[in-house]
Amino acid sequence: MLENLKIPSVYDGFLFLAESVRNPPALKPHHHNELELNLVVRGNITYVVGSRRFTFSQRTLLWMFPAQEHQLVDRSDDAQYYVAVFKPALIAGACRARRYQGLKRKRLNEGGVLHTKLDPAAFDLVRRTMDALVEDGLDPAVLNREAGFGINSDFTFEHHDPDWLNAGLRHLLLLSWRYQRGPAVGGGSALHPGVSKALALMGDAAGSDELAILARRCGLSPSYLSRIFHRQVGVPLCRYRNSVRLGRFWEAYRDGSRGTVLDAALDAGFGSYPQFYRVFKQAYGTGPRESH
């Protein structure tokens, strides 16, 4: 799915620090016209790209190219990772020398995810560069709560010093690419076709995510789908499904047409308010009414 990140014209991209403890899940496959860069600051994050699962740990720098469909499927409870995106115009203007031509590609011919594990000194430099750029940005709590910057909401990214941010994004792009060590695109774990289909079906708001229905549509028994999903994706299917439902809740609640918190929760697929409350508090450490 092609997502419009709705980045205002004054910005050449955006940058923010995502944190598991306050960043709503957005668990669906997508791509966008912008080049995306992640730096794992703490913990680990897991993506599904194509039919393979990739887990990245602290100090990993990774790239998602514009035509590369990717899906965040899990994060450790302590995960912190920077997300930067760069508009095509910034890349075209900044990347003139031969060594930077790889940044202009739309996809990886090799498949997988281009990534590298930074040594401590390089990690510290890239992280400090990112830290400096977000100092004049919006409150991190706001950026995490509204993650997506326009996806399924009217929120758009803002920064108090666009010129500083744009200059910094250009520097960050070239600096990070200089630390990319070779074509590290391998690794990852192949997914069972039924698991890949289950991920796609749960990402489709129009379909039912009840286990029995999901398993039937994947051509597997409910028990086998649950076991293989947990083994291959790394999280129990019920936990992943609840994260998807939380994402739907935020979409429905921000839309404003669902009325109450309960209406939005039921619309997202939760069977009752107690179930929704339990899942919400487990994810964010506080009840839904205290979080907005």
In terms of average pLDDT, the best of 100-104, 180-184, 258-262 is 100-104
pLDDT-derived band at 172 (thresholds 50, 70, 90) equals: very high
Question: Does this chain's domain 13-178 share its CATH topology with 192-290?
Answer: no
Distance of alpha carbon 5 from alpha carbon 14, whole angstroms? 10
Label residue 268 by pLDDT band (50, 70, 90).
confident
Whole-angstrom distance, CA of residue 232 vs CA of residue 204 = 20
210-236 residue pLDDT tens: 899 999 999 999 999 999 999 988 889
Nearest-angstrom CA–CA distance, 172 and 155: 25
Task: Measure the N-to-C terminal CA separation of the chain; round to a whole number of Å.
Answer: 29
Could you tell me the pTM of the whole model? Answer: 0.84
Mean pLDDT for 113-123 is 95
| Per-domain boundaries in the chain | 13-178, 192-290
Q: What is the overall mean pLDDT for the chain?
A: 88
What are the pLDDT digits (tens) for 69-105? 898 888 898 999 999 999 999 999 999 999 999 999 9
Give me the pLDDT at residue 251, please: 75
In contact, 24 and 147? CB cutoff 8 Å: yes
Q: Specify whether the CB–CB gap between 142 and 148 falls below 8 A.
A: no
The Cα 180–Cα 114 span in angstroms is 8
At residue 164, the pLDDT reads 97
Q: Are 150 and 81 in contact (CB under 8 A)?
A: no
φ/ψ of residue 273, rounded to 5 = -65, -40
Decide if pLDDT at 176 tops 80: yes
Residue pLDDT, tens place only, 269-280: 888 999 999 888
- 5 pLDDT more than 60: yes
- Which tokens in the block code for residue 185? 């695109």
Architecture of domain 13-178 in this structure: Sandwich (2.60)
Per-residue pLDDT at 16 exceeds 80: yes
Chain-centroid distance of CA 61 in Å reads 14
Q: How far apart are CA 85 and CA 172, in angstroms?
A: 11
22-31, 116-125, 196-205, 260-269: least confident range:
22-31
Looking at the predicted structure, is the pLDDT value of residue 24 above 90? no
CATH topology of domain 192-290: Arc Repressor Mutant, subunit A (1.10.10)
C-alpha torsion angle, residues 241, 195, 59, 44 (rounded to 10): 30
Can you tell me the distance from the alpha carbon of 70 to that of 140, in angstroms, rounded to the nearest whole number?
24
**How far apart, in Å, are the Cα atoms of 187 and each of 36, 57, 110?**
20, 13, 12
CB 41 within 8 A of CB 81: yes
pLDDT the model gives residue 219: 94
Measure the CA–CA gap between 15 and 233, rounded to whole angstroms.
27
Q: What pLDDT does residue 84 have?
A: 97
Contact (CB, 8 A) for 287 and 280: yes
Encoded amino acid at 222, one letter: P
Confidence class for position 153, pLDDT limits 50, 70, 90: low
At 27 the pLDDT is 65
Measured from the Cβ of residue 46, the count of other Cβ atoms closer than 10 Å reads: 18
